[in-house]
Every structure is written in C-alpha cells, then in structure tokens.
A and B are shown apart, each in its own frame.
With several copies, the nearest count.
Chain A
Amino acid sequence: MSANTLLETRNLTCIRNDRRLFGGLELVLEAGQMLVVEGPNGCGKTSLLRILTGLRLADEGEVRWRGETIEKLAGDYYEEIAYVGHHDGVKRELSCLENLRLARAMGIPSALELDDVLEQVNLYVYGETEAGSLSAGQRRRLALARLLATRSILWILDEPFTSLDKASMAMFTGLFVAHIEAGGMIVMTSHHDIPLDHERIRRLDLGAKA
C-alpha cells in the first residue's frame, strides 16, 4: 500500500438474493487513478458502487478511506466524495441553476461560477428552465454538472453516459481525464466503449471474479 492510497476495500462481499455477487474483493485506489468497473448485466457493479458510498452495507468486509473505515468517518468522508447514480438526483420542479445551487449547499462549492458550469455541459440556455422539462440526456448532463459545481476528490459514477449523445460523451470523457490528472479519483461503471487508454486507468472485471 503506497502512501498515496486513499481508498481501499478489505475482503468486500456482496450477497443478493442468495447469490454471492462478489467476495473477498480487495481494491486499492491511489490519488490520480481511475477505476472502471466492468462486467455483464447483473454482476454487481451498482451494488459495489453503493457499498463504496456507504449507502449500502457490505455483507462482509469494509471500505476504508485514508485508512479509516467510512462508517467511522461519516461526514468527513462525504466531504470528499461525489456520487451520481442510476437516478439523477435532480429535482424536476427546480430550474437547472437552482439544482446546482442546492448541490453546492449540500457539499463544498467549487470555485467555478454556476453559469460557467452550465456552459460547460451545454445547458447554458436552460439555466432558468425547470429540470422536469428536460429530455433524458439533458437531465443526465445536469446531474453530471454537480461534479463541476462542487469540489470533491473521489467521484463515484454509475453509468454516467446513459442517454448522452456522442458530443456530450466526448466532453465528459475529457473532463474525467482532467480530474484524474489533477490528482482526483474516479470509480465508474459503463457499458459504453470508453476511448480511454490513459496509463492511470485501471479496469476491474467483476464478471470474471464471480
């Protein structure tokens, strides 16, 4: 374990419906690294990600952040991570700007202006539009814009590219690379072919493990 290791799991096991999805999983992730979790449908990618956020309890084993278990850290851990799951976490009744302001209030705001954030995810003209009347892909972009509006080290992303058109995919891929190059960390799943072969990207094939 190098001094840079921030996230590690010990003997992580997940059982659902009597099926052992994975067991004895030992992950180590250093600052500046990205982990892409792969595997066929139902192999437990979403479950793993939710365990890493602490939203779900592991059936065995533990997740450690900076050497402490995340249960003990609680709030301290959440200051440093951001999660975008299957659900967007976007309030339909609020406008795009209001949604981002909310995200900032709940976390640590980044230095960017919100207008610039919207500009970057190509939603600038929708700033005052209610999120409920965005299309599936636009809403996904708004969810991902949270990553820019707040400041966190570890991004945990469950199929971030769902519903995105190709231009948006390329844009976010660039963003992810910038994040890890700046010393951030990403754990993500995706069924899309991601055109990334950065030396810092590691892949975990959950399907093979099972």
Chain B
Amino acid sequence: MFLWFHKLGSPPHFYRIAGRFIPWLNAIFMVLVLAGLYGGLILAPTDYQQGESYRIIFVHVPAAWMSLFIYVVMAVCGVVIIVWRMKLAEVVLISSAPIGASFTFLALVTGSLWGKPMWGTYWVWDARLTSELILLFLYLGVIGLHNAIEDKRIAGRAVAILAIVGVVNVPIIHYSVEWWHSLHQPASLTKFDKPSMPPSMYVPILIMALAFQVYYAAVLFQKCRAELLQRERNSRWVEEL
C-alpha cells in the first residue's frame, strides 16, 4: 500500500498515469453532466413552493460542495507537504486552488441569483454567505501567495501552511446554518437522517455532484501535468518525453 502510494507520488509515474486517465475522465464527465441535467431539468418534478426556479439547485449545491471539498483536499495536501515533503502534493495543492476558487465563485453567483426570487435579495450578510465569501478570499490568498514567491519549492510549503490554517473555516461554513439560524436553509441532503426531498430530486443532484467531482479530477490532472512539466523541466524524465 505504502509502496503504491510512494510510486504514485513519483512525478514521472504520476505524469503517465494522469495522462492516461484524462480522456476517460472527460468522457465520464460528459455522460454524467448530460444525465444530471436531463434528470434535473426534465425528469425532476417542480417544487411545491418554488416552482421552476429551484432548479438552480442542480448547479448550486454541487458547486458549493466542491468548494468545500477542494479546500479540504488542499489542507490534506498541506499536511502531506509539511510532514512528508512530497512534491506531488505541492503540485496538487496549487493546481487545486484556482479550480476551488472557481467553484466557490460559482456557488456564490448561483446562490445570489437564486436568492433574489427566494429571499427577496441578492445578498445578505448572513453567516453562511459571509463564510463562503471568506472561503473565496482564502482561495485567492493561496493563489496570490504562491504567485508572489518565486522559488516554487518554498511557495509550496508556504501555501501548505496557509491551507492548513484556513481549514477552520470549512466546518464554520457547514454548520453556520445551525449555529446562527441563518437565512440560508439548513441541510437537505448532508445530514444523518434521510434527505428532505424525494429521490427524483436528489438523485440528479448527486449525479451532478459526481460529475463535478470527475470534472475536478480531469482539470486537476491536466493542471498538475502542466505544472509538473514546468517544475521538472530540467530533469531527465522530462527531457526524454
């Protein structure tokens, strides 16, 4: 197990494996997105209260989940960097940041667009919304810090520390709706008892969530490969390519 991990961690190996996966991931993503959109926009029934406008849920919720998930991935990479000095983790961390920032942005935008018909306002300074905005700033901080440090190995460790420190924000985002009675609705799906919506609604959400995960993996692999090439451009295996 550890050996396998170690092997995957070696840049040339990862480069090759990732390259093989990317086309597949892209294909799976296309299929899932089409299925999710079909399920969400056509098969799923309208909501008894919100009518059609609730369908933005099929983008908003997966995007919001991804924004949290990717940050956690980054924090885990951060620990790996600090403890094991694994180069691949640096690459994964920094390649994840822009993707995470985009998902956060998407969640914010879809949320505001949804908020107008739902709540009567695009934006309120409520705990969930504010903490999500802070998440965006944290992502930007990671990107900015990485750009600002020229020596990329040092930059990798710097953003590792920042990612670890910032991860306290994630539980705050998740539990904000309970702790602060925010305007944002409580969890419909991410709770321990059964979802507060029929399968015809939550199945497409889950499919879309999976699609976003696959998309993340595909883009991540692509970015990692580019970053790896850039970093290891004078090592033997790159020259052999």
Interface positions of A (Cβ within 8 A of B): 15, 18-20, 57, 59, 132-133
Contact A57 B153 (CB under 8 A): yes
Q: Can you report 5 A-B residue pairs in the complex whose CB atoms are below 8 A from each other?
A: A19-B234, A57-B85, A57-B153, A132-B150, A133-B150
Contact B234 A20 (CB under 8 A): yes
- Measured CB to CB, the nearest residue on chain A to B234 is A18
B188 to chain A, nearest CB (A): 47
A1 to chain B, nearest CB (A): 26
- Measured CB to CB, the nearest residue on chain B to A18 is B234
Main secondary structure of the interface of B (DSSP, over half): loop
Contact A15 B234 (CB under 8 A): yes
Number of interface residues of B (CB under 8 A): 5
Known: A18-B233, A133-B150. 8 other contacts (CB 8 A): A15-B234, A18-B234, A19-B234, A20-B234, A57-B85, A57-B153, A59-B153, A132-B150
* Chain B residues closer than 8 Å to A15, beta-carbon distance: 234
Docked Cα-Cα span, A132 to B150, in Å, equals 10
- Measured CB to CB, the nearest residue on chain A to B153 is A57
B114 to chain A, nearest CB (A): 44
A83 to chain B, nearest CB (A): 19
A61 to chain B, nearest CB (A): 13
Question: A-facing mask of B145-160, CB < 8 A → 1, else 0?
Answer: 0000010010000000
Docked Cα-Cα span, A57 to B90, in Å, equals 15
Most buried by B among A18, A19, A20, A133: A18
- Measured CB to CB, the nearest residue on chain B to A133 is B150
A8 to chain B, nearest CB (A): 21
Docked Cα-Cα span, A57 to B234, in Å, equals 19
B220 to chain A, nearest CB (A): 25
* Chain A residues closer than 8 Å to B234, beta-carbon distance: 15, 18-20
Docked Cα-Cα span, A20 to B239, in Å, equals 15
Docked Cα-Cα span, A18 to B234, in Å, equals 6
Docked Cα-Cα span, A15 to B233, in Å, equals 12
